[in-house]
C-alpha cells in the first residue's frame, strides 16, 4: 500500500540527486536505480543542460517524490523500482527522472527526482487541480500500478479541517446526516403527491424546514440547515415541482364515517372537497396548470384533515359540546403528564442517544483508523487523518477498545431507544388529536348560535 509524498526542491537539483543515490555512502542505502530520459550516472549534468537550454527561471529546480511500501506488501526491490519507473513514464513521459529504491528504513521505498522542466521547455504543473501532474494524480497512478503487483491500496477518505475535535466530529457527522436525509427523501418522494406534502412528511420525521429559493432542512443534532439540492440536484425546488406536475392523479380514500347531526357540517365540507378534487383532476388530465398544481395539495391536505376530524368524532363517540370539551381537557392532561415524565428523563434520553450515535460512528471509523495506524508505522512523518482523531476521541469517551464492545453498547441501549421513540410518538399523536378536536370545537361554535360574531361590549 504505497504512501506518496511530493516536495519541491529549491535551487540546484545537485543535493537531491546526491541524497537519493546515497553518493556519500557509496550507495549503501540503495537497492536499485533506474532513469527516464537520462542516464543515472550523468543525470545532474543532463538536468542542468535542459534548464540552461530553456533559460528556466524560478526557484524550483526539481521535485522530490517519496513512494513508500508496506512491509506487508510482498514485492521485491526490483519490483518496487519498476513501479516507480512505470509511474514516471505515465505521469512525466517528457521529463527527466531518476528512480532510486532505498532499503534502509525497514520497508522498501522509492526516492524519485524529477526535473522541473521537460525536454520541450515546459515546467511541471504542480497544482492540485491538475488531475495528471498534480499531487492527486501521483497518488492515483501510484495506487493503480501498485495494485497490479498485489500491493494493498488504502480506501480514500475525506480529510476534515477544523479547529478542534468537537468540530471534527460534527463535520464528520455532516456526511452521515446527508446520507440520512437522502435516504428519507428517496423513501418519501414516491409516496407523496406534492412538494408541500413531502415537506410535511419530513416535518413529521423531526426535520425543521426552511423554504425560499432553495429548500433546506435540519434534523436533531445538526448545527446548520442543509440545502437538499446540494445533496443531489434532482432535489432542487424546480426539479421537485416538475416531478410532481408529471405525477399521476391522486386517488382519495373514501369517508367511512356516518353522517349525523353533530358532524354534518364537517361531513359536508369533506364530501364537497373530495368531489372538487376528483373533478379538477379529470379536467386537468394531460395538461399542466401551474396555478392548479400549487393549490392542489392544499385542497387534498384539507380533505384529509376533515376526514381525520370525522374519524376522531367517531372514535370518541362525540355527539355534543360537553363530549368534545371533556376530550379536550383529557388530552391536555395526558400531554402535560407525559411531558413532565419526559422532561425528568431528558438528560438520560440524550445520553442514550449520544452513546448509540457515537458507538455507530466508532464501528464506521474503525477500519480507517486501522489503516492509518498501519501507515504511521511505516512512515513517522505520516499525519493521521482527522477521522482517526475522531475515532480516538470516541474510544476515550466511551472507554471501549473493540467493535464488539461498541456493538454491545448499541444492543444494551436498544430497549431504551425504543422507549424514547414510543413516548415521543405518543405525545405527537395526542397533540395531533388535540389540535383536531380544538379545530372542530371552534368551527362548530362559529357555525352555531352559541357563537356571536363581532359582539362589542360597552362599559359605563
Other beta carbons within 10 Å of 197 = 20
- Any idea where the domains of the chain sit in the sequence? 3-148, 159-247, 344-446
- What is the signed CA dihedral for 134, 138, 144, 146, rounded to 10 degrees? 180
**Cα 384 from Cα 228, distance rounded (Å):** 31
Q: CB of 410 within 8 A of CB of 283?
A: no
pTM: 0.40
Euclidean distance between CA atoms 388 and 400, whole angstroms: 15
What gap in Å lies between CA 198 and CA 202, rounded to an integer?
A: 6
21 and 98 Cβ atoms separated by less than 8 Å: yes
Identify whether the C-beta of residue 434 lies closer than 8 Å to the C-beta of residue 338. no
CATH class in words for 3-148: alpha beta
Q: Work out the burial of residue 233: count CB atoms within 10 Å of its CB; fewer than 13 is exposed, 13-18 middle, 19 or more buried.
A: exposed
The gap from C-alpha 394 to its chain's centroid, in whole angstroms, comes to: 19
User: First vs last Cα of the chain: how many Å apart?
Assistant: 93
What is the bridge-based pairing of β-strands 30-36 and 109-115? unpaired
Residue stretches of the chain with pLDDT short of 70 = 1, 27, 128-131, 154-176, 206, 220-223, 245-253, 280-297, 417, 447-460
Largest Cα–Cα separation, the chain: 115
**Any idea what the Cα angle at residue 392 is, between residues 387 and 393, rounded to 5°?**
95
Listed residue (124, 156, 151, 158) closest to 68, CA to CA: 151
pLDDT at 283: 52
- From residue 379, alpha-carbon distances to 2, 106, 343 in Å are 11, 10, 51
Whether 134 contacts 125, CB under 8 Å: yes
SS3 5: strand
Asked if 372 contacts 384 with a C-beta cutoff of 8 angstroms, the reply is yes
* Per-residue confidence (pLDDT) for residue 242, from 0 to 100: 79
The sign of the dihedral angle between the CA atoms of 344, 350, 353, 359 is negative
Nearest alpha carbon to residue 400 among 375, 363, 430, 427: 363
Q: Give CA–CA dist 51/131, Å, rounded.
A: 25
Taking the C-alpha atoms of residue 142 and residue 409, their distance in angstroms, rounded to an integer, is 40
Amino acid at each position: 500500500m504505497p504512501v506518496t509524498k511530493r516536495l519541491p526542491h529549491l535551487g540546484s537539483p545537485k543535493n537531491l540527486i546526491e541524497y537519493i543515490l546515497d553518493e556519500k555512502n557509496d550507495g549503501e542505502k540503495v537497492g536499485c536505480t533506474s532513469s527516464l530520459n537520462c542516464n543515472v550516472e550523468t543525470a545532474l549534468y543532463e538536468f542542468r543542460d535542459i534548464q540552461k537550454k530553456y533559460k528556466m527561471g524560478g526557484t524550483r529546480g526539481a521535485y522530490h517524490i517519496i513512494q513508500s511500501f508496506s512491509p506487508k506488501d510482498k514485492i521485491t526491490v526490483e519490483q518496487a523500482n519498476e513501479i516507480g519507473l512505470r509511474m514516471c513514464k505515465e505521469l512525466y513521459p517528457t521529463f527527466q527522472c531518476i528512480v532510486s529504491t532505498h532499503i534502509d528504513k525497514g520497508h522498501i521505498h522509492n526516492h524519485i527526482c524529477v526535473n522541473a522542466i521537460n525536454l520541450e521547455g515546459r515546467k511541471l504543473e504542480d497544482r492540485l487541480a491538475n488531475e495528471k501532474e498534480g499531487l492527486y494524480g501521483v497518488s492515483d497512478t501510484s495506487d493503480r500500478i501498485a495494485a497490479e503487483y498485489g500491493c494493498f491500496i488504502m480506501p480514500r477518505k475525506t480529510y476534515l479541517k477544523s479547529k478542534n475535535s468537537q468540530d471534527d466530529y460534527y463535520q464528520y457527522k455532516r456526511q452521515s446526516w446527508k446520507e440520512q436525509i437522502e435516504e428519507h427523501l428517496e423513501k418519501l418522494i414516491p409516496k407523496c403527491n406534492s412538494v408541500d406534502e413531502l415537506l410535511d412528511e419530513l416535518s413529521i420525521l423531526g426535520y425543521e424546514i426552511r423554504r425560499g429559493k432553495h429548500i433546506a432542512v435540519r434534523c436533531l443534532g445538526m448545527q446548520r440547515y442543509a440545502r437538499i439540492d446540494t445533496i443531489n440536484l434532482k432535489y432542487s425546488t424546480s426539479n421537485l415541482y416538475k416531478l410532481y406536475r408529471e405525477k399521476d392523479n391522486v386517488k382519495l380514500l373514501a369517508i367511512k364515517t356516518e353522517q349525523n347531526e353533530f358532524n354534518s357540517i364537517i361531513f359536508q365540507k369533506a364530501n364537497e372537497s373530495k368531489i372538487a378534487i376528483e373533478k379538477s383532476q379529470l379536467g386537468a388530465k394531460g395538461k399542466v396548470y401551474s396555478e392548479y398544481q400549487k393549490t392542489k395539495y392544499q385542497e387534498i391536505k384539507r380533505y384529509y384533515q376533515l376526514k381525520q376530524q370525522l374519524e376522531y368524532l367517531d372514535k370518541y363517540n362525540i355527539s355534543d359540546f360537553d363530549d368534545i370539551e371533556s376530550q379536550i381537557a383529557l388530552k391536555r392532561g395526558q400531554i402535560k403528564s407525559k411531558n413532565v415524565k419526559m422532561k425528568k428523563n431528558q438528560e438520560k434520553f440524550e445520553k442514550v442517544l449520544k452513546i448509540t450515535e457515537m458507538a455507530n460512528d466508532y464501528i464506521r471509523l474503525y477500519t480507517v483508523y486501522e489503516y492509518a495506524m498501519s501507515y504511521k508505522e511505516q512512515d513517522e512523518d505520516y499525519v493521521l487523518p482527522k477521522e482517526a482523531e475522531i475515532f480516538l476521541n470516541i474510544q476515550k469517551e466511551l472507554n471501549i477498545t473493540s467493535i464488539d464492545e461498541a456493538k454491545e453498547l448499541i444492543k444494551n441501549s436498544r430497549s431504551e431507544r425504543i422507549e424514547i421513540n414510543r413516548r415521543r410518538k405518543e405525545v405527537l399523536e395526542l397533540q395531533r388529536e388535540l389540535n383536531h378536536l380544538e379545530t372542530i370545537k371552534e368551527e362548530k361554535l362559529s357555525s352555531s348560535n352559541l357563537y356571536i360574531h363581532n359582539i362589542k361590549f360597552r362599559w359605563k
